[in-house]
Structure 1
Amino acid sequence: MTIFISILWNNVIPLSVMIALGITLHRVFSLDIKTLSKLNFYLFSPAMIFNLLYTTDIPVNVLFKVLLFFFLFMALLYGCVEAAIRIRKTPRAMKGAVRNSVLFYNSANYGIPLNQLAFASNAYTLSVQVLIMMMQSLLPNTYGIYNVNSHKLQARDIGRTILGQPVIYAIPLGLLLHNLHVPIPLALSTPLGYLANAFIGIALITLGVQLGSMKLTFRHPKIKDVLVSCALRLIGGPLLAAAVVWLLRTNNVTMIDSLMAKALIVSSSVPTSLSSVLLAVEFDNEPEFASQVVLLSTTISIITVTCVIYFLHI
């Protein structure tokens, strides 16, 4: 019960308050969702990921183990999503939105606070979560863009769009400057900190603005797709992560210790990322579906995330 209350109070309620503010502001002022989306993609998100990678120490052996887990986990998760798409005969224009809703999860503004809560702000488990967040920041700005545009744009145009995303440059730059111990002048580090700190708030406001123009209804024609995506994300995610961890530990491939194993499973249990909504809005690909998945998965995660942490504790 203590874990349940802590997750509810420290994670879900703050997120809900910010989303509610976005809904209210949109209802009163009719905010421009496209402008907010561009601010997230081209300014706040790159600053946040660069700042976190620049300031966090990540051992090389931890990097290797986490990346190996991540690629195996994502391959299995992708297979499950593709199976669901084929079984349900999802229309081509919607396939990208469904994939994004399951493959991209909220490893930053939900995953990091959750990691600190579940593991008492342990620096080791935090480094694991930062690496997961790094990959989850890179994927939406590469594969995610391809996903939502593959049915309507040529490969050359998609490639040009991907190369225009600042995040794909912020990640290697942040890692490089950190490892080379290159100091950033105060004139740059101060505004960078302002932008990084603004990311979570602006992203949640953006989600609220999108939700403000719609309503969650179980009579919606795509509600079954929403429920399938939520189930794959919140139940399939941690189950597949546990299977990958078990496989690696059984075969002694990477010497994954118990604490890292738990951190990796918890990292996979979080709800759908705001990135899926930002992508859907920015490239006009099923924004209503994406918003409903984020809203419902975040709500249901109160129960599912608590169960994952509980089972890991026992």
Structure 2
Amino acid sequence: MNVFTHILLNNVIPLTIMIVLGIWLYRAFRLDIKTLSKLNFYLFSPAIVFKMLYESQLSLALIGQTLLFFSLFFAAMYMLIEIVIRVRRYEGGMVPAMRNSVIFYNSANYAIPLNQLVFVGDAFTLSVQIIIMMMQSLIPNTYGIYSVSSATNKNDSKATMRTILTMPVIYVIPVAFLLRGLEVPIPDPVYTPINYISNAFIATALLTLGVQLGSMKWKLNFSDVMLSNVLRLCIGPAVGFAIVKLLGIDGVMAQALVLSCAVPTSLSSVLLAVEYDNEPEFSSQVVFSSTIFSIFTVTLVIYLMKFIA
């Protein structure tokens, strides 16, 4: 019950308040959601990724093992959602929208505080989650853009590649590792703005989701939204558990990896949907509902994690 209450009070309710503020701001001022999404892609998201990677302490062994797990997990979930897409006979923009709602998950502003709650500030488990966050920042800014752009603009692959190459995140990650590895200090006049910008990421992303929810007509596609929620919140951690067993990973690292798979759909799926006008209503409903339902599913996953030796 303590875990349930903590997730509710420290994750879901604060997120919901920010989303409601976004809805109100849209209704009051008709905010431009395209501007908000560009701020997230080109400014706030790169800043928080850079800051977390630059300040982290990651060993090569930890990076290798975590990346192996993530690769297998991502491939398994991708194949699973492809089967679902074909069985459900999705077409057009619903194909990448459904896919992204399952394979992109909230590994930063939800998973990192959750990780530190469950493992009581453990630096090792935080490092595991930061590596997952790095990949969940990189893939939406590369493959994610390609998938939604291809669905909305099938004949211009060169333009899609040019867009991907303008994404700051794909350059920020190697630069952060390089500067950290060489122990290059960043001057305070430069690092202070990075701190300011990264601190604004969560608020801006949630306000963007609220603006999108406020601007749409609430025609809930119940079956598709719930299907996405089940795949993300229930099947996801089950697949993660199977993979740690397959790889022979145990102890606290296995628990951290399974927990990383249990979080709700990422805000990245909404930002991509809004930026490329690719089923933004469905994506927004999935993010909002999965965040609410995660109160119960994440609590169950945390309880079951004690059976991971």
TM-score range, shorter chain: over 0.9
User: TM-score, normalised to structure 1's length?
Assistant: 0.95
Whether 2:210 is the aligned partner of 1:208: answer: yes
Shift of 1:166: 0.5
2:272 to 270, 273, 279: 279
**RMSD across aligned C-alpha pairs, in angstroms?**
1.1
Alpha-carbon separation, structure 1, partners of 2:147 and 2:85: 14
Partner of 1:57 in structure 2? 57
Give the superposition deviation at 1:216. 4.9
**Distance (Å, rounded) in 1 between the aligned partners of 2:304 and 2:269:** 29
- Give the aligned partner of residue 225 of structure 1: 224
> Could you list the per-position Cα deviations for residues 56-89 of structure 1 after superposition, in whole angstroms to 9, with x for gaps in the alignment?
1011110000000000000000011001000000
Query: What letter corresponds to residue 267 of structure 1 in structure 2?
Result: S
Aligned to 2:201: 199
1 CA distance for matches of 2:8 and 2:59? 32
Corresponding residue to 2:289 among 292, 296, 300? 296
Higher mean C-alpha displacement, 207-216 vs 180-189: 207-216
Give, as a single letter, the amino acid of the residue that structure 2 aligns with 1:237.
G
Find the residue that maps to 1:182 and give its secondary structure.
coil
Give the counterpart letter for 1:80 in structure 2.
Answer: L
- The CA deviation at 1:149 is 1.2
The letter for the 2-side match of 1:94 is M
* 1:169 partner amino acid: Y
**1:259 equivalent in alignment to 2:261:** no
CA distance in 2, matches of 1:283, 1:135: 21
One-letter amino acid of the structure 2 residue matched with residue 189 of structure 1: Y
What is the distance in 2 between the residues matched to 1:247 and 1:30? 50
Report the Cα offset of residue 215 of structure 1: 5.7
Alignment-mate amino acid for residue 297 of structure 2: T
- Alignment of 1:242 onto 2:241: yes
| Matched residues, number | 305
Counterpart code for 1:6 = H
The offset of 1:223, in angstroms, is 2.5
Amino acid at match of 1:227: M
Contact 2:109 2:202 in 1 (8 A): yes
CA distance in structure 1 between the aligned counterparts of 2:105 and 2:179, rounded to whole angstroms: 27
Tell me which residue corresponds to 1:77. Answer: 77
| Unaligned runs of at least 5 residues, structure 1 | 250-255
Q: 2:182 aligns with which of 154, 165, 180?
A: 180
State how far apart, in whole Å, the 1-side matches of 2:76 and 2:9 are: 33
User: 4+ residue runs of structure 1 moved beyond 4 angstroms?
Assistant: none
Cα distance in 1 for residues equivalent to 2:218 and 2:267: 17
Query: What SS does the corresponding residue of 1:150 show, helix, strand or coil?
Result: helix
Q: Aligned partners of 1:51 and 1:273: how far apart in 2? A: 19
Corresponding position of 1:157: 159
Separation in 1 of the partners of 2:18 and 2:238? 30
Compute the TM-score of the two structures, normalised by the length of structure 2.
0.97
